[in-house]
Amino acid sequence: MAELEGPEFGKADFVLLDEVTMEQFLENLRRRFSQGRIYTYIGEVVVAVNPYRTLELYGPPAVERYRGRELYERPPHLFALADAAYKAMKRRAKDTCIVISGRWTVAVGGGCVWGTLGWAPLAQSLPSFARRERGGQDGGQQIHHAVHRRHHQPHPTRRGGEGEERAAEVQLRPGSLRQRQDQPQRQLQPLRQVHGHQLRLQGRPHRRPHPQLPPGEVPNPPAAAGREELPRLLPAATGSPGGSAGLPPPLPGPRRLPLHPGGCSGLREWGWGGRRVGRGWAGGSRPLTPCVSPPKCPPQACGDDADGYRAVEEAMAVIGFSPEEMGSVRRILATILHLGNVGFVAEGETAAVEDAAQLSALAELTATAPGSLRQALLTRTVAAGGGELIEKGHSPKEAAYARDACAKAIYERLFCWIVGRINASIAAHDYDVRLHGKSTVIGVLDIYGFEIFDTNSFEQFCINYCNEKLQQLFIELILRQEQAEYQREGIAWQSIEYFSNEPIVELVEQPHRGILALLDEACLAAGTVTDSLFLASMDTRLGRHPHYTSRKLCPTDKTMEFNRDFRIKHYAGDVTYSVEGFLDKNKDTLFQDFKRLFYNSADAVLRAMWPDGEQSITEVTKRPLTTGTLFKNSMVALVENLASKEPYYVRCIKPNDQKSPTLFDEERCRHQVSYLGLLENVRVRRAGFAYRQPYHRFLLRYKMTCEYTWPNHLMATDREATQALLEQHGFQDDVAYGHTKVFIRTPRTLFCLEQERAQLIPIIVLLLQKAWRGALARRRCRYLRAAYTIMAYYKRHKVKAYLRELLRRFQAVRTLPDFGKSVVWPEPPAVLARFQDASQRLFCRWRARQIVKNIPPSEMGQIRAKVAAMEALEGLRKDWGCQRSWARDYLSSPRENPGQALPFARRLQTLKDKVHFGSVLFSCHVRKINRFSKSRDRAILVTDQHLYKLDPRKQYRVMRALPLSTVTGLSVTSCQAQLVVFHTQSQDDLAVCLHKMQPAEDNRVGELVGVLLEHCRATKRELQVRVSDCIQLSLRGRRRLLTVETRPGAVTPDFGKSRDGFVLYWPGR
């Protein structure tokens, strides 16, 4: 039972269905698909449904989640299957295999889960499991992974997009890999795409098998490997019956080659893209052009050809291909393309090459003589008796067949050569069984599923035969696994009845009587043998077979045509095949002349691909095997290989044809479930015991349901504890006890245990949460107490250190000239931050006191005035004259007021005698502005009682006298202008600008402000001081604005009129 999945997700294992029916199977599959659960188990078989959307199911965290876990401990996943296969290989030192079958695209070609659900996750997880187990150590077993793909090719003339059979084996092989192999392993992917990937453009379906690479010990791919890819490049002959009815009609206009990524772009860089690659294959009349960038091509399909080409070249260089070898590969690929341009015309009874220039290009590419190439294309050498050689000319049709066979053979052999070359690069060296242990593998077989098209030909026949054979092996291996497990556990084996498709397999492959044998017989017969005669031969010799029929044998069945169709009753359903093209597709038309031609090539790589060309024509007497025989032999070898391994299965299902992430087509899925034999698999699994689990795992999951096993049992063995648990629930009649596992017969027992466990889990969780939260709280309390203790000691240490440092720095401060102004305060700890602020304020007051003590009493008035000015103007006005000595009464000074000081003194004495003021606070020449916008030179005199405006030209006659108590405030500017506005209670303000000062740049605004503020404080009056560059004043109740403008050309300040009031023009630079 998988964890973390509730009943809303359905059954995680089909074995646990209440009833094994197609309806319940599909309902459970639909429910899991709708909930995003694309994986479901049948015992140890994984059923995968294409989600048609991106799911967060993969990546290193997911791999780690399944590593070392049993299948039932986590929700179903491919990673669980991969881990199970890896553990089986490691524990039992036995080869294992993972078989991926099924399809996503019925009736239009396609593939199973190779890219998304199958190989990609397996390739991600298996090396990770291996690395984790090694623990990153150099010693011990190391896992070398490479891939061996076997392409089962029904016939070289298959059209692109038709179904094909393919299989792959992933070899996880122990060995000592040198560090240098890590980089080639990472570089394999671009190189694998060169000969295995094609792009199907213009909306056509495609399949992209990966020609993966085996290590050196693995045999090379069979004869048909790689050759299956080239027919995708060849258009079907006009009217050819071999095309798949499931494909869209041919596109009009020039045909585009669905080459591998970067192929054509690369050929241009190789220097061969400029030649025209035009004429169709197999008699096709339309031009065949490379697919460079067709319109409406999906970006992910086309990609950047140049980047793809560079990636392939870099990968080849990293793997170890020499520049000469890479050049040969380019020339061979160009040869395949240029062979499509070779056309033939009739000259009498023989054929001739249509364009001799094409022969020259091909001869240059293959490094052969043009004459020998022409002879191989147009004639065939036959050995007669007595060593005599006969040269037989081809007709145009025969020459076209020979040309096509040559191109396909070149492609196949290039594919096999690349596989072998890479294997030599990445092979494990210095492997020692005594050091590294037995060499075991995990094979991954990725095979296309059953094909049923509207028109089924030789390709579908071979694919469906392969599926019949593998389905029989699947059931037999499942039964064998069941029987082996029962025997290991000491439980009696019960015979299980199941559907056997052995008669169908014999119908196809039986020697001398099977369909393949009759097909070979027809191909080897003398005279003219047609497909219809072959069908008649099958009707005669197979007419009584229960799984074979045709229109002749069943005249009333109008779904078949006379002399064309026959039907085989497969395990997945009845399939009607068209016999047209069977004979042509089964023949091998590659003549020995081409083998000798390329063996004698000056190109070393091309020569190495044709070692059989060394034999002379008289030594070659054995007829080559037909495609059907090659396919059957390959299937026999594959089945023997699989039978020797412990299998794990992935069955793939396509939920709909619209690629919708929400649509579940029940009829489509019913058909796939049927031909995959999934219900048969469930019945076999449930025939004995539906569920089994090791004792310790069983107790770990269900021990809370029994008082004798919770929280831990005290019995001698886990088996006894399991028996006590089941007996307490009354299930003793529905179980059996093996040596290491408990076997449960019906799912109902397991569901009862699961329900009781589900009821107890919340209680146990609350108990654990309570205990854990208490433990966490107690631990946190201890931590806090310890932390507070440490913090207290540390704070005391920091305080003491701070105080000691403070004492050290300030202990001699009385003797310093600046009384400690230059001493830097130490950084206080956070707890003493406020203490330091208070200490600094106290220190400043102490230091000020020390300074003030040394100031003469006569200077204290000036000091107090400067302090008052600083408080009012600091930060608001740039310069306010604090750096100079303040004289206050400037008009009494002969230096400041030469020639006028004596008249001013007389006027001052007169005022003193009249009003009896105590002292002069300030006096200076000014420029004033009145309400009539007229400015005049005047002087101001500020005493402790009045503010006087004087006329210097009339012996300083008093023009206006304001009691100082009526002055409510002062306004000054922030600039250098010496503008001062006296605000009065009578709303008749006085605006003046200090001038005629010595020196001229002297700043006396601060002095005036400070003197008045100090006097107001002494008389306990409040005086408002405002700093603004736009001063509002009132003249006889009328409000005006006064601003300052700098006038570079002015010599003295002066007032002017503005729109809103007045402006002071201040001399400036």
Question: Would you state the pLDDT for residue 385?
Answer: 64
Which single residue is written with the structure tokens 């793809």? 308
> With 80 as the cut, is the pLDDT of residue 327 above it?
yes
- If one counts every other C-beta atom within 10 angstroms of the C-beta of residue 60, the result is 10
Q: How many CA atoms lie within 13 A of 246 on its CB side?
A: 21
Strand partners, 1040: 1033
Question: Would you state the pLDDT for residue 432?
Answer: 76
Burial class of residue 183, CB neighbours in 10 A (0-12, 13-18, 19+): exposed
Question: Would you state the pLDDT for residue 835?
Answer: 93
- The two tokens of residue 789 are 């203790």
What is the C-alpha separation between 103 and 657, in angstroms, rounded? 11
pLDDT class for 602, splitting at 50, 70, 90? very high
Q: How many CA atoms lie within 13 A of 129 on its CB side?
A: 29
Closest CA relative to residue 952, chosen from 964, 941, 967: 941
Question: Would you state the pLDDT for residue 843?
Answer: 93
- The two tokens of residue 759 are 């009821």
Burial class of residue 487, CB neighbours in 10 A (0-12, 13-18, 19+): exposed
> With 70 as the cut, is the pLDDT of residue 350 above it?
yes
> With 60 as the cut, is the pLDDT of residue 238 above it?
no
Question: Would you state the pLDDT for residue 489?
Answer: 85
Closest CA relative to residue 291, chosen from 242, 253, 326: 253
- The stretch 59-84 carries a mean pLDDT of 85
Question: Would you state the pLDDT for residue 492?
Answer: 78
What is the C-alpha separation between 165 and 103, in angstroms, rounded? 12
- The two tokens of residue 855 are 């100031």
> With 80 as the cut, is the pLDDT of residue 669 above it?
yes
Tell me phi and psi for residue 832, to 5 degrees: -105, 15
- The stretch 603-625 carries a mean pLDDT of 80
Question: Would you state the pLDDT for residue 700?
Answer: 87
> With 50 as the cut, is the pLDDT of residue 526 above it?
yes
Burial class of residue 247, CB neighbours in 10 A (0-12, 13-18, 19+): buried
pLDDT in tens, 443-454: 888 776 778 888
Burial class of residue 916, CB neighbours in 10 A (0-12, 13-18, 19+): exposed
More confident residue, 214 or 491: 491
- The stretch 662-686 carries a mean pLDDT of 83
pLDDT in tens, 134-168: 444 433 333 333 333 333 333 333 333 333 333 33
Sequence-distant (6+) residues with CB within 8 A of 74 are 2, 3, 4, 65, 66, 80
pLDDT in tens, 785-824: 999 999 999 999 999 999 999 999 999 898 888 889 899 9
Q: Are the C-beta atoms of residues 1028 and 1016 closer than 8 Å to each other?
A: no
Query: Mutual orientation of helices 515-524 and 627-643 as an angle, nearest 10°?
Result: 150
Sequence-distant (6+) residues with CB within 8 A of 432 are 176
What percentage of the chain exceeds 90 in pLDDT?
Answer: 26
Sequence-distant (6+) residues with CB within 8 A of 496 are 479, 482, 684, 687, 688
What is the C-alpha separation between 151 and 200, in angstroms, rounded? 19
What is the C-alpha separation between 912 and 879, in angstroms, rounded? 33
DSSP string, 107-142: TS----STTTTSHHHHHHHHHHHHHHHHTT-SSS--
Q: Are the C-beta atoms of residues 74 and 80 closer than 8 Å to each other?
A: yes
Mean pLDDT of all residues in the chain?
Answer: 78
Question: Would you state the pLDDT for residue 1?
Answer: 44
- If one counts every other C-beta atom within 10 angstroms of the C-beta of residue 670, the result is 14
Task: Name the pairing type of β-strands 1061-1067 and 1054-1057.
Answer: antiparallel
Question: Would you state the pLDDT for residue 621?
Answer: 56
Q: In what order do the strands lie in the sheet with 735-737?
A: 691-694, 741-744, 735-737
Sequence-distant (6+) residues with CB within 8 A of 839 are 806
Q: Are the C-beta atoms of residues 654 and 79 closer than 8 Å to each other?
A: no
- The stretch 563-568 carries a mean pLDDT of 92
- The stretch 988-992 carries a mean pLDDT of 92
> With 60 as the cut, is the pLDDT of residue 595 above it?
yes
Question: Would you state the pLDDT for residue 139?
Answer: 34
- The stretch 32-51 carries a mean pLDDT of 90
What is the C-alpha separation between 973 and 878, in angstroms, rounded? 10
Q: What angle do CA 739, 742, 745 make, to 5 degrees?
A: 130
- If one counts every other C-beta atom within 10 angstroms of the C-beta of residue 798, the result is 15
Q: Are the C-beta atoms of residues 566 and 538 closer than 8 Å to each other?
A: yes
Highest mean pLDDT pick, 235-249, 288-302, 621-635: 621-635
- The stretch 37-53 carries a mean pLDDT of 89
More confident residue, 70 or 377: 377
- If one counts every other C-beta atom within 10 angstroms of the C-beta of residue 1048, the result is 7
Cis amide leading into 999 (omega within 30)? yes
Coil, strand or helix: which one is 960? strand
DSSP element (H, E) containing 318: helix 305-319
Torsion angle, CA of 543/545/546/552, rounded to 10 degrees? -10
> With 60 as the cut, is the pLDDT of residue 609 above it?
yes
- The stretch 61-67 carries a mean pLDDT of 87
Question: Would you state the pLDDT for residue 1026?
Answer: 93
In the chain, what is the straight-line distance between the N-terminal and C-terminal CA atoms, in Å?
92
Question: Would you state the pLDDT for residue 143?
Answer: 37
Coil, strand or helix: which one is 703? helix
> With 50 as the cut, is the pLDDT of residue 870 above it?
yes
DSSP alpha helices (H): ranges in 340-395? 356-366, 370-378
Question: Would you state the pLDDT for residue 175?
Answer: 35
What's the whole-model pTM score?
Answer: 0.56
- The stretch 606-630 carries a mean pLDDT of 80
Strand partners, 1031: 1042
Tell me phi and psi for residue 565, to 5 degrees: -110, 145
> With 60 as the cut, is the pLDDT of residue 641 above it?
yes
Question: Would you state the pLDDT for residue 622?
Answer: 66
> With 50 as the cut, is the pLDDT of residue 182 above it?
no
Highest mean pLDDT pick, 254-268, 667-681, 753-767: 753-767
What is the C-alpha separation between 932 and 1060, in angstroms, rounded? 14
pLDDT class for 828, splitting at 50, 70, 90? very high
pLDDT class for 26, splitting at 50, 70, 90? very high
Question: Would you state the pLDDT for residue 590?
Answer: 78
Closest CA relative to residue 865, chosen from 883, 886, 842: 886
User: What's the alpha-carbon Rg for the chain, to the nearest Å?
Assistant: 51
Question: Would you state the pLDDT for residue 781?
Answer: 96
